Structure 1
């Protein structure tokens, strides 16, 4: 990319998760944590930071408080917007699998439809070819592929 637009949908997406903890929180919820203490244990953020991030993620529509039990929120769950963010996390997982080294354990996801280990791959919607580094350019006039 030669120049950065002032504000676009990519900037909006990055702003939604532009801190150290947000994607970790989404990951924890995707792995089944729902109560504050479970998320705290899974993420390891300081309590005040976690509370602020949970509020921010709720405000942006990525997660929501679950139904109330005994006058208290029963926990948190991902909204559809948050679940769709999981696709981004799967691409980051592939990058981590490639570059984190052999001493870090990996987590495999199985595609329920075919029963095989899933590996995220970014493809061009028009031609179906996998995207390789260096194959994109920025066209402000026509942003669609």
Structure 2
């Protein structure tokens, strides 16, 4: 049974969108499973082989991602196994994955260490993500504020 993402549950910080997102997909394996689904993985064995994750942990994370409405699960037409696909909410994590990738490119590698590169379908590197005003001015933590509830 799929639980709507905003449904009642225990949240780390109920009014903060960042905290709620972390509550849903903030552990290491969940985001890597989402990344692999974006890269075409669909079967349990594909996720396991690509990630080297223990079967019990993978089963738990896949179940939670389905319950949270980030993945869907359907029976594989050729057998008893399931196929996992990103929902619209799961696909909407693409920008988050790209932001994490770009932060990692800038801060998690030393010099010319080998690393994967995200390219568009024409083979060009993806432009750096930067928050902007509607008028196109770059924003930073120093030039924004959070309007907190209550």
TM-score (norm 1): 0.80
Q: What is the match of residue 89 of structure 1?
A: 97
Deviation of residue 120 (structure 1)? 3.8
1:22 aligns with 2:30: yes
SS of equivalent residue, structure 1 residue 64: strand
Deviation of residue 125 (structure 1)? 4.2
Q: What is the match of residue 7 of structure 1?
A: 14
Given the superposition, is the C-alpha separation of residues 133 and 140 from structure 1 closer, same or farther in structure 2, using an over 3 Å criterion? closer
SS of equivalent residue, structure 2 residue 142: coil
Cα deviation digits, residues 93-130 of structure 1 (max 9, x gap): 11011112231313222166xx6421241323433222
RMSD over aligned Cα, in angstroms?
2.2
Q: What is the match of residue 31 of structure 1?
A: 39
Mark the runs of 5 or more structure 1 residues left unpaired by the alignment.
none
SS of equivalent residue, structure 1 residue 131: coil
- Counterpart pick for 1:109 among 107, 119, 125: 119
Q: What is the match of residue 99 of structure 1?
A: 107
Contact 1:111/1:117 (<8 A) preserved: no
Matches within 5 A, 1:31-50: 31-50=39-58
Number of residue pairs the alignment of both structures matches: 135
Given the superposition, is the C-alpha separation of residues 74 and 52 from structure 1 closer, same or farther in structure 2, using an over 3 Å criterion? closer
Q: What is the match of residue 132 of structure 1?
A: 140
User: How many Å separate the matches in 2 of 1:136 and 1:111?
Assistant: 34
Contact 1:111/1:118 (<8 A) preserved: no
- Runs of at least 4 residues off by over 3 Å: none
Contact 1:67/1:73 (<8 A) preserved: yes
